[in-house]
Structures are given as structure tokens and as C-alpha cells.
Amino acid sequence: MQITAELVCFWIFAIPLVLTALGVVVARSPVYAAMNLVAAFFFMAGIYVLLAAHLIAFMQILVYAGAVMVLFLFVIMLLSLGDEHLRRERRSAMQYVGVIGAVSLLAVLAAAIARVPDKAMGALAQPERFGTVKAVGQVLYTEFLLPFEVTSLLLLVAIVGAVVIAKERI
């Protein structure tokens, strides 16, 4: 395969992405896991840019690396867990069975991916428009108008629900 800038960028983003994702799972402290997850979200945004999804890459950084991770860090801070939760977790046999199950899922996914024709992605009809705010916004407000409006309702319910659940006395 010919080495192109896209190929180099793919590896530059993909390898740290997998490493930081592993860091989330391996980390014992939630703070380290959260920091690894922030890095993983940034590398994921880079992959999205490679796939010409500019708006989604931007939202990935704004919503995930910004809002959601701040929420996580706030909760970590709020809980102020002592050292006892950092000690080595007791592993049961079921957990290892679960990981074997996860790896077999990867095998199933591999079988599915092997069926996808391994050809390079074609050129876009309008590469300068694809994935921009205008193009995605147009689809969101016409084809996906009802789900888009329902999303606002979902977020409202989530806000109210979060406040009610986390309140001192219900």
C-alpha cells in the first residue's frame, strides 16, 4: 500500500487511541482513567476529521472531552474516595469469563468485518461540503427533525432526573 498523508495520520491517531482506551480499563484510580479517556476522545476527534466528519469531531471535543468529562471529574471530586478503593480488586472467575466473552465478540466482529469489501473509500461527490455544519444541519432539520426535537426533551428529562436522583432527600 502506498504511504499517503492520510495513512500516516490514521496511525498517528489510531495507536494512541487504542493505548489510551486500554489505559481507561487498566487504570486503578478513577482520575487516571478519566484523564486517559479525555486523551482518547481527542484522538477519536482526529479520526473523525480524517473521515471528513468535521462537525462531529468538533462536538466530540465540546461535548465529550468538555462537558461529560468535567461531569465525571466533578463526581470523582465530590465522592472524595479514600485509599481503600485503590487497593487491588478481588477478581472472580466470572470476570475472566466475561473478558473471554468480550474477546469472542471481537472474533464475531472480525468475521463480520472480513465480509466488508476491502476497497479504498471512494471520492465524495462534494468533498468541500461533506460533514460540515451546513450539510449535517440540513439533514438534521429536515430528515431527522422529530428525533432532533425529541432529543431536547430527553436532555430536559435527564437534567430534571439527575437533580432529583442526586438530591439529599428524595
Partner 1 sequence: MVPVTWYLWLAALLFTIGLSGVLMKRNALIVMMSVELMLNAANLTFISFARQFGDVGGHAIAFFVIAVAAAEAAVGLAVVIAIYRTRGSINIDEVRALRE
Please tell me whether residue 5 binds partner 1 under the rule CB under 8 A: no
Of 24, 83, 87, 93, the residue at the interface with partner 1 (CB under 8 A) is 24
Which of 60, 67, 55 minimizes the C-alpha distance to 13?
A: 60
Q: How far apart are CB 128 and partner 1 at their closest, in Å? A: 13
Residue 153 identity: L
Binding mask 83-102 toward partner 1 (x if CB under 8 A, else -) reads --x---x-x---x--xx-xx
Give SS3 for 64: helix
Q: Would you say 25 and 44 are in contact if contact means Cβ atoms under 8 Å apart?
A: no
Binding mask 112-141 toward partner 1 (x if CB under 8 A, else -) reads -x--x-xxxxx-xx----xx---xx-xxx-
Q: If 0-12 CB within 10 Å is exposed, 13-18 middle and 19+ buried, where does residue 73 land?
A: middle
Residues contacting 132, CB < 8 A, separation 6+ = 54, 55
Please tell me whether residue 27 binds partner 1 under the rule CB under 8 A: yes
DSSP annotation of 122 reads P
Q: How far apart are CB 76 and partner 1 at their closest, in Å? A: 6
Residues between 146 and 165 with contacts to partner 1, criterion CB under 8 A: 147-148, 151, 154-155, 157-159, 161-163, 165
Of 67, 83, 146, 149, the residue at the interface with partner 1 (CB under 8 A) is 67
